[in-house]
Amino acid sequence: MTVSLLQTIPRPAHSQNAPRARHVRVALAGCGVVGSELARLIDAHAPAIESAQHIRLEVVSVLVRDTLRARSVPVARNRFTNDVPEFLASNADIVVEAIGGLEPAGRIARATLARGGRLVTANKALIADAGDELVALARTNGARIDFEAAVGGGIPIIRSLRNSLRDAPVQRIAAILNGTTNFILTRIEEGASFADALAAAQAAGFAEADPTRDLDGTDSADKLRILAWLAFGLAPRDVDVRCIGVLPDPEALVREAHARGEAVRLVARCERQGARVTASVQPLRVPRGSLFARTIDEQNVISLDLGWNQPIVLSGPGAGGRPTATALLGDLVCS
Ligand SMILES: NC(=O)c1ccc[n+]([C@@H]2O[C@H](COP(=O)([O-])OP(=O)(O)OC[C@H]3O[C@@H](n4cnc5c(N)ncnc54)[C@H](OP(=O)(O)O)[C@@H]3O)[C@@H](O)[C@H]2O)c1
């Protein structure tokens, strides 16, 4: 008689009494660089999430523009729609918004929170425009909004500011917040042309749908507004950011810095002075070997000055499908 190895291993006692996994229905708005990676991550991590968190995630609806496009995601074709009301009618337990821009993302966010649902979003433009309003809407309706992926890609800066550092006396923030621009400046430093560096950033999925928002500093300014809101308490829309990007000639910026033995980085800074908050985004020359010069490719870095001997510094991949989708997944499974 042959006995399979599995039959000889006793089931651990806890598995017999393990709580039944709760079925959590997820509606995913957007199946591009970030959304498609999230769908794959949910599928790949399903067994681990079920055994550790006792929840079984299922993607029940996916909103896209083009329902006919072939996509390598483990979601049945009949779950795709390009109709926002049909998408919202799925009444999923959690809605993930990975479309970007203000509409229809804003409509999806408001409808989800107004019915008391859970929203997870990667959308910095929306949070920079209406984050305080959406958090208030969530509070009024017993809903919940999480947006870890909106700033810093895979760096857990939002949860740090909303939870661990909520009452910490942040005085100043200095950061590199745009992975695309940083990637381009690094590649130009290494000898690439601006056109080739931009094409490589787009091919890697780092660039926004319209890369102008990366290059003119708007994307960094949106993220800085969100950080200033969480650190200093004023509404993100009210944070006045003086914004200069790397256009029109990033190659010249790199050349000028190189001639002085320095590097150039698009630096976002904000500071509280009494009741006033000043904020700026601009290309700055930084010493070689400094923290910012050592931040290369699509990395981001965020330095929080609390008036202590050392700042709190978080750094890591600031763009790309996998890190950003991992931040979304963290929000999905965090209770
Ligand atoms: N890429 C990154 O590295 C990164 C990093 C951090 C945060 N984010 C944020 O993550 C979000 C998604 O970015 P992404 O790079 O994944 O963008 P993307 O590749 O351009 O994907 C956007 C997705 O949204 C869908 N979509 C766009 N407009 C729509 C509309 N009006 N109705 C229905 N569907 C619509 C698109 O549908 P089709 O596929 O049919 O075109 C696509 O599936 C954005 O908020 C972005 O700022 C991205």
**Distance from C-alpha of 300 to C-alpha of 268, rounded to nearest angstrom:** 11
Protein residue whose Cα sits closest to atom 5 of ligand 1: 319
> Residue 184 in 3-state DSSP?
helix
Question: Of 213, 223, 265, 272, which one is the catalytic site residue?
Answer: 223
**Distance from C-alpha of 301 to C-alpha of 311, rounded to nearest angstrom:** 12
Which residue ranges have their beta carbon within 6 Å of ligand 1?
30-35, 63-66, 69, 82, 98-100, 104, 122-124, 149, 153, 205-206, 208-209, 319-320, 324
Ligand 1 centroid vs 69 CA: distance in angstroms?
Answer: 14
Distance of CA 77 to the CA centre of its chain: 26
Kindly give the pairing relationship between strand 312-317 and strand 299-305. antiparallel
- State yes or no: is 124 an active-site residue: no
Determine the pLDDT at residue 177.
98
Ligand 1 centroid vs 248 CA: distance in angstroms?
Answer: 26
The answer to whether 323 and 39 have CB atoms below 8 angstroms apart is no
- Ligand 1, from 41, 99, 157, 214: best to mutate by most atoms within 8 Å of Cβ? 99
Determine the pLDDT at residue 208.
76
Instruction: For residue 35, give Cα distances in angstroms to 95, 157, 229, 323.
Output: 12, 21, 26, 12
**Distance from C-alpha of 6 to C-alpha of 53, rounded to nearest angstrom:** 24
- What is the DSSP secondary-structure string of 30-70? --SHHHHHHHHHHHHHHHHHHHHH-EEEEEEEEE-S-TTS-
Given its phi and psi angles, is residue 21 left (phi above 0), alpha (psi -120 to 50 degrees) or beta?
Answer: beta
Could you identify the atom of ligand 1 that is nearest to the CA of residue 64?
34
For residue 243, give the DSSP letter: E
Ligand 1 centroid vs 57 CA: distance in angstroms?
Answer: 21
Protein residue whose Cα sits closest to atom 12 of ligand 1: 98
Protein residue whose Cα sits closest to atom 17 of ligand 1: 32
The answer to whether 15 and 303 have CB atoms below 8 angstroms apart is no
Hunting for tokens 């917040």 — which residue is that? Answer: 177
**Distance from C-alpha of 2 to C-alpha of 148, rounded to nearest angstrom:** 52
Question: HSE on the CB side for 330, CA within 13 Å?
Answer: 18
Hunting for tokens 């070997």 — which residue is that? Answer: 289
Instruction: For residue 107, give Cα distances in angstroms to 102, 146, 176, 235, 332.
Output: 8, 16, 30, 20, 20
Could you identify the atom of ligand 1 that is nearest to the CA of residue 206?
3
Q: Which pLDDT tens digits describe the chain residue by residue (335 residues)?
A: 433 333 444 444 445 566 789 999 999 999 999 999 999 999 999 999 999 999 999 999 999 999 999 999 999 999 999 999 999 999 899 999 999 999 999 999 999 999 999 999 999 999 999 999 999 999 999 999 999 999 999 999 999 999 999 999 999 999 999 999 999 999 999 999 999 999 999 999 988 778 999 999 999 999 999 999 999 999 999 999 999 999 999 999 999 999 999 999 999 999 999 889 999 999 999 999 999 999 999 999 999 999 999 999 999 999 999 999 999 999 999 87
In total, the chain counts a number of residues equal to 335
The answer to whether 234 and 274 have CB atoms below 8 angstroms apart is no
Determine the pLDDT at residue 17.
67
Protein residue whose Cα sits closest to atom 25 of ligand 1: 30
Ligand 1 centroid vs 17 CA: distance in angstroms?
Answer: 42
Given its phi and psi angles, is residue 120 left (phi above 0), alpha (psi -120 to 50 degrees) or beta?
Answer: beta
Ligand 1 centroid vs 100 CA: distance in angstroms?
Answer: 5
Q: In what order do the strands lie in the sheet with 118-121?
A: 80-81, 55-63, 22-29, 94-97, 118-121, 144-146
Determine the pLDDT at residue 175.
98
Determine the pLDDT at residue 335.
79
